[in-house]
Amino acid sequence: MKSLLLKSFVFYTMVMVISVTIQGCCENEYRITGNGTFEVFDKGFGPIDTINDEFYIRAYFEIMEVGMQNNFSLINSALATSCGEKYLNELLTNTVKLSLDKPFNYDGKAIEANSNFINIDSAKLLVTTTFDGVVEIRATTDFLSSAAFEKGQHIFHIYAETTDGLVLENELSVYFDL
């Protein structure tokens, strides 16, 4: 009886070890597929519709899981393991563009309506992109003190491309009260 119990214990332990090993060697494949959402946040990361201080703009592009490799596991739902992530198309940082529908002044220079101003001042307008479809733009207080926006409703337009040529565009209407 002890021998049978020991053999059962060894067998189930081996099944668990093999399952954990297989689960740990998996990889999920994702693809950026669409325009997603576009939002403005305040310094505390609360969503806002009126800009009156330092703010963040975030574009979350749609992502779809398109494949999973090595999805065999006997106990995957019982373990806190996760698979690696592979993106079949990634955002091209150099294609990200941001524009406003109305002109504004920056350091005494006129910035035309609908012109890309993403690289206007990299020390004061901070841009971060991630491979998984998120673009974050932070307009610092230094940037805002150098810019003069007309009070009223404005429309931000964001544009980006992925490595497979997918064009992503989105618009967001906000009220400027600076």
pLDDT at residue 147, rounded to an integer: 93
Confidence label for 22 from pLDDT (cuts 50, 70 and 90): low
pLDDT at residue 73 tops 70: no
**In the predicted model, what is the mean pLDDT of the chain?**
85
Domain count, the chain: 1
Q: How far is C-alpha 132 from the geometric centre of its chain's CA atoms?
A: 6
pLDDT at residue 21, rounded to an integer: 62
- The answer to whether 91 and 31 have CB atoms below 8 angstroms apart is no
Classify 132 in phi/psi space as left (phi over 0), alpha (psi -120 to 50) or beta: alpha
What b/e readout covers 103-141, taking b as 16+ CB neighbours within 10 angstroms? Answer: ebebeeeebeeeeebeebeeebbeeebeeebbbebbbee
Single-letter amino acid, residue 27:
E
- Average the pLDDT over 58-84 and give the result: 68
pLDDT at residue 138, rounded to an integer: 92
Confidence label for 20 from pLDDT (cuts 50, 70 and 90): low
Q: 141 or 8, which is more confident?
A: 141
pLDDT at residue 28 tops 90: no
Confidence label for 124 from pLDDT (cuts 50, 70 and 90): confident
Q: What is the pLDDT of residues 77-96, one digit of tens each?
A: 544 556 778 888 988 889 99
Nearest 5°: the CA angle 43, 99, 158 is: 75
Structural domain boundaries enclosing 109: 2-176
